[in-house]
Structures are given as structure tokens and as C-alpha cells.
Chains A and B, each alone.
Chain A
Amino acid sequence: MNMHRGIGLAAFDKEQLSQRFAELSSELSKTQVDNLQSQLTQFRTALSHFATTHRDSIRSDPAFRHAFQQMCSSIGVDPLAGPMKGGWWAEILGMGDWQYELGVQIVDVCVSTRERNGGVIEMGELVRMVSKLRGVESGVITEEDVIRSIKTLQPLGAGYEVLDVGDGKKMVRSVVKELDADQAVILAEAQVEGGWIVEAILENRRGWTGERARAALENMLLRDGLCWLDSQDEHYGQVYWIPSAMRWDE
């Protein structure tokens, strides 16, 4: 018995075996890959069909749009990315245009009210005014739509940002200047009253000192142009009004 040859033979067998295994595994991968390819193609066709069929509903019905977007997030797809990023999606859905149009309208409202409110607008008012711009036929716009659109405006570097001022109230800031914490509190308290605020409210409800309240309000008034002065108030004498916390009917 030639042990050497036995080993040699065995070795040859091992090599052959592993080669066979190698071939087999690449064959498996190829099969898997082929399968995947075909599944993806099917998926893409189905999704395409779905999107085209329901494009109008997506644009006009906020509840449907919300559900559609939830579904897309769960499979890791962003249907509202612009033509640059979305490519195929944007083409199929035409959502790139829709999104862009909404973004332009948001900027329009923010810029046109900036003189009045100093560059900070209450979310409800923004949604109302954008809806008015769009008209009735184009479907309802929700706060969620606006928030998503504002995210896409961030690369503009113009400071568009959604601010949570507490008590479930949101403001949208469209100027680069940061809103400091005290101003956020003042905005929240002013909203409770319907747009006006005085030092006494901040002292009583928030435990601020007189100096802190006075300084914050005076800065908002004189330095930042974020509020207006009313010097004829029967009770307090001087009252500060914050246009972005006031509800305008026009």
C-alpha cells in the first residue's frame, strides 16, 4: 500500500471536493441572485402600478398619503426625495414636483409674514395660509406634510426650522437667528393668552424674576423685532403682543 499515494489521492479528493463545493456555492448564489433579481423586478412593476393608480389619492388625501409614507419608511424607501435623489420614484409618483411646490409655498408665506412676526410663525397659521395659497382643489395639507417639507428646505441654509415651544405648540422659524430658551417660553405663554404677554405672567406662572422677564421681553421687542408694544392697556399699562402667537383672520 502506498501511503504516500494514498495521501496524495486523498488530497486530490479533498481538492476536488472543495472545488466542487466552491462551484456548488457559487451556483447557489447565482440562483439566489437570479431569484432576487426576478423578485425585485416583479416588486418594482407592482409598485409602479400601485403608484400610478394611486398617485392622485396620494396627492389629494392626507390620510392615504400618511399611510403610504409609513409603508415606504418601513421598507426603507423615501418616495418624496427630489428628482436628484429619488430618480425613479419621483418620476413614477411625480411627488418631487408636489413636494417642491409645497416648499416654495411655505417659503412664500414665511417671507411675506416676516416683517410682521419677525421670522417666527405659528404652525397652525402657516398651514392655514399655505392651504389658502393652494386653494381647495389641490387637496388638504397637514402639519405633517409641512414638517416634512421644511426638512427638505434645510440645505437652503436659510434657517428654516420647526421649533417645539412646549404644550404641544409648534412654531416655524425662517430666519437664521436662534430662538433662545426664554423666548420659546414667552412664545408658549403668549399663545395661551391669544397673543399677549406681560412680566407678571412669566413671574407668576414660570417663577421668573422681574429682571429676567423684563430683559427677555425688552430684547424681543427692541433687539429682535419679535413683538409689538401696546401702551394703552387698562390693567397692565404696557403689554407685549407677539404677532406669531396672534391669530389673524386674513
Chain B
Amino acid sequence: MALSTHTTPSGFLLPSIHSAPPFFTEQPNQSTHAHLTEKWIHLILTYARHKRLFVLRVEDAEVPGGEWDEILRNERINRRILPQYLSSLMAIMVAKNLAVYEPSKQTRAVLLYWRLPEEWADVLHSWATATGQLNTILTFYEISDPPIQSPLSGIPIPLLRRAITILSRSNRAQIIGVADGEGVRFFVG
């Protein structure tokens, strides 16, 4: 019985460790726990990048049918990661600055940093420059949900706001109040 990789319906290649039943149990031995946790975190972030998922919730381990099923469950071996373990993984990711609790003051949902806010800032500014939108006012909505797919499509507003704040520190952006929300103006940087 060989443990092998497996390609999911969405085209993601799962590592062979995902076929091992004990991978879905939180390990009592400290060094084994550290080793497998590292594998889980890497898997979660890689999958998030693949499917452009920004948010992970404890609920994703509680209720089937969500966007994370391909990772959090393995129907072929009848195993799933339990909510307690997922919650513990989320806490570790937050501690390592690979995610933040969003909204703050709760621990059931995290915003994943498969790209750091600093990197998002650069992507954002490059996009604004490339599309000739410097010096014009854009609403947050226009950035996260543009008519044409962009590298920023689907970015959660809290993450977008963080990226813009980073740009404003180097005078590459300025937040502006607009009629029904928030807007931003980008400058040459």
C-alpha cells in the first residue's frame, strides 16, 4: 500500500502525506507535531494561492461542502481534519505572521497571507501604473472587483486597506473618502 500524490478535481496536486490517515490527527509527540504542522501550513497556503482563497474558517472543518474540502478532507481514506486541530493550526499561522485574525478579537476566521501585505502593496501599485490609473480616484470596490480580471480580483477589503496603508507610508497612495465608502488615489512611486 503505497502513499502517493493525488490530483484534485480543481487541478491541485496533493502531496503523498495527504494520503496518510495520521496526517489528519493532531500529534501528541512534540517534534512529530512540529513536523506535520509545517506540512499542513505549507499545504494550506499553497492551496489558497492556487484557488485564490483568502479566508480560512474553523467552520470549514465543521461543515462539509465548502471551498476547502479538497484539502481538509480526504474521502478516499475517510479522514478529515477536526475543528480543534484546524483552530490550532490557525493560531500557529497567526503567530508566524502567515495570517491574521480578521476581524480582530475573534479566533474563528483568519485572513491568509499567501502573499504578504508588503507584496500586495507592490502588486497593487504596479497594476495601477500599468493600467494608467495613477492620479485618478478609485473606489475600493473598483479595485477588488474590476470588470476585467486583475491580480487584485477578489482581494478582501481589509487586506486591500493594509496594502494601501503601506503604500501611503512611501507616498505612493492616499486614502480618500468618497460618497459611499472609501477610495484611493495612487501616485508615481
Contact = CB atoms under 8 A, between A and B. Distances in A.
Interface in B171-185: none
B1 A228 contact: no
B29 A194 contact: no
A250 B15 CA distance: 8
Given A225-B32, A228-B27, A249 B2 contact: yes
A232 B2 contact: no
Interface in B93-131: none
Q: Which residue, of A225, A232, A241, A250, has the highest number of chain B Cβ atoms within 10 A?
A: A232
Interface string B20-62: 1111110111011001100000000000000000000000000
Interface in A83-126: 115-116
A233 interface: yes
Interface residues of B, number: 23
Nearest to B32: A225
B29 A225 contact: yes
Nearest to B78: A234
B32 A249 contact: no
A249 B78 contact: no
A222 B1 CA distance: 25
Contacts, number: 60
B2 A229 contact: no
Interface in A195-233: 195-196, 221-222, 225, 228-233
A82 to B, nearest CB: 34
A120 to B, nearest CB: 14
A58 to B, nearest CB: 33
Given A116-B35, A230-B21, A232-B24, A246 B29 contact: no
B161 interface: no
Contacts of A248: 2-3, 16
Contacts of B133: none
Nearest to B25: A231
Given A116-B35, A229-B27, A234-B78, A249 B3 contact: yes
A171 B63 CA distance: 42
Contacts of B78: 232, 234
Contacts of B31: 115, 225
Interface of B: 1-5, 15-16, 20-25, 27-29, 31-32, 35-36, 78-80
23 contacts: A115-B35, A194-B1, A195-B1, A196-B21, A225-B29, A225-B32, A228-B22, A228-B27, A228-B32, A228-B36, A229-B25, A229-B27, A230-B22, A231-B25, A232-B25, A232-B79, A239-B22, A247-B1, A248-B2, A248-B3, A248-B16, A249-B16, A250-B4
A-B pairs with lowest CB-CB distance, top 3: A228-B22, A194-B1, A249-B4
